[in-house]
């Protein structure tokens, strides 16, 4: 989450190299995926409800990226006010962790649909999916609001998205909450993904011509890898940097660790673009087929 006390010139350049295409391509594919979902597929299902929520979370996060690049411009500093900075930081982290939780909901929904097809009629419905998405939205906003107002910058008014104070880094509950959200989400998603793949592979062994199962495996594996590669490095480095700031680990490599943390946060935001890209092609393939549900569910 935090990009602490300074911005290395390499990070400033790296962020622009990553964020400019992420913002442009992410915005394009999110808009296209949402357009296909609303105006082409036109079917309110559990799966489409969760994917629509994920697209919305990712789109809001994309909105903050130009301001984040502006904040990392060390020469000019942050001149848009501390209140607007707090709003952007809240929007950024709320939608990052909202995206993580919705990804877990998608994984669990897939698992229930495939592992318990008879109970799925009771456990799954578009209304229940909408309720789950609403609960996730309320949860991340309420919980995040309580923690984000505890954030303090080492130089109030001139730093945004980085330069958090030592007092912030000593907030054990804040870092613990972020790590636990990711670890629990990763564990649930790993279990659901592995079980789904095993079930679908058995289907392909029984019927080698079951093409939709093969397509579903590819999509599910792609989603899972995007999730892990986007968020795992950042949360690992966040924990290590927290331990360094609290003198649990030697501070000899603090500068290098800070750079790695900032770079990993840039890479984590690629998730907004990669998710949209994946679902855009899933929807495109679905529209060409005669299936009744997208292949990422069946």
Which domains, and CATH codes, for the chain? Answer: 9-288 (1.20.1070.10)
- DSSP label at residue 75: T
- Single out the residue of 147, 159, 164, 54 nearest to residue 101, CA to CA: 54
Percent of the chain with pLDDT over 70: 86
List, for residues 168-217, the tens digit of each pLDDT value.
788 888 889 899 999 999 999 999 999 999 988 887 776 665 666 777 88
Average pLDDT of span 87-91: 86
Using the predicted structure, report yes or no on whether residue 290 has a pLDDT greater than 50: no
Angle in degrees, 0-180, between the axes of helices 9-35 and 254-268, rounded to the nearest 10: 20
Instruction: Evaluate if pTM is beyond 0.85.
Output: yes
Average pLDDT of span 252-266: 88
What per-residue string of b and e applies to 14-23 under the rule 16 or more CB within 10 Å gives b?
bbeebbeebb
Q: What is the pLDDT of residue 144?
A: 78
3-state helix, strand, coil in the chain (%, to 5): 75, 0, 20
List, for residues 132-180, the tens digit of each pLDDT value.
999 999 999 888 776 666 666 666 666 788 777 777 788 888 889 899 9
Percent of the chain with pLDDT over 90: 40
Range of weakest confidence among 9-18, 28-37, 68-77: 68-77
Which run of H or of E encompasses 112? helix 82-115
Mean of the per-residue pLDDT values of the chain: 84
Using the predicted structure, report yes or no on whether residue 57 has a pLDDT greater than 80: yes
What are the beta bridge partners of residue 153?
Answer: 164
| The length of the chain, given as a count of residues | 298
């Amino acid at each position: 989450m935090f990009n602490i006390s300074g911005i290395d010139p390499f990070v400033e350049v790296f962020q622009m190299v990553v964020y400019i295409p992420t913002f442009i391509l992410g915005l394009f594919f999110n808009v296209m995926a949402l357009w296909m979902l609303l105006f082409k597929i036109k079917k309110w299902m559990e799966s489409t409800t969760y994917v629509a929520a994920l697209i919305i979370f990712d789109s809001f996060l994309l909105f903050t990226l130009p301001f984040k690049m502006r904040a990392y411009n060390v020469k000019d500093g942050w001149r848009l006010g501390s209140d607007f900075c707090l709003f952007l930081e809240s929007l950024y982290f709320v939608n990052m962790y909202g995206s993580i939780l919705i990804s877990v909901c998608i994984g669990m929904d897939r698992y229930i649909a495939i592992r318990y097809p008879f109970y799925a009629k009771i456990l799954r419905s578009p209304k229940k999916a909408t309720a789950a998405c609403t609960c996730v939205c309320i949860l991340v906003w309420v919980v995040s609001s309580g923690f984000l107002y505890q954030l303090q910058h080492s130089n109030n008014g001139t730093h945004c998205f980085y330069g958090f104070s030592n007092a912030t880094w000593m907030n054990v509950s804040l870092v613990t909450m972020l790590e636990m959200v990711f670890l629990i989400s990763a564990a649930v998603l790993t279990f659901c993904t592995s079980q789904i793949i095993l079930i679908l592979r058995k289907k392909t062994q029984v019927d080698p011509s079951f093409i939709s199962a093969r397509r579903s495996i590819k999509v599910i594996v792609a989603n899972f890898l995007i999730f892990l590669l986007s968020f795992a490095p950042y949360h690992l480095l966040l924990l290590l940097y927290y331990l360094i700031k609290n003198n649990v680990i030697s501070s000899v490599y603090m500068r290098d660790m800070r750079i790695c943390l900032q770079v990993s946060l840039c890479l984590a935001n690629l998730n907004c673009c990669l998710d949209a890209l994946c679902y855009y092609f899933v929807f495109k393939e679905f529209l060409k087929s005669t299936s009744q549900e997208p292949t990422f569910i069946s």
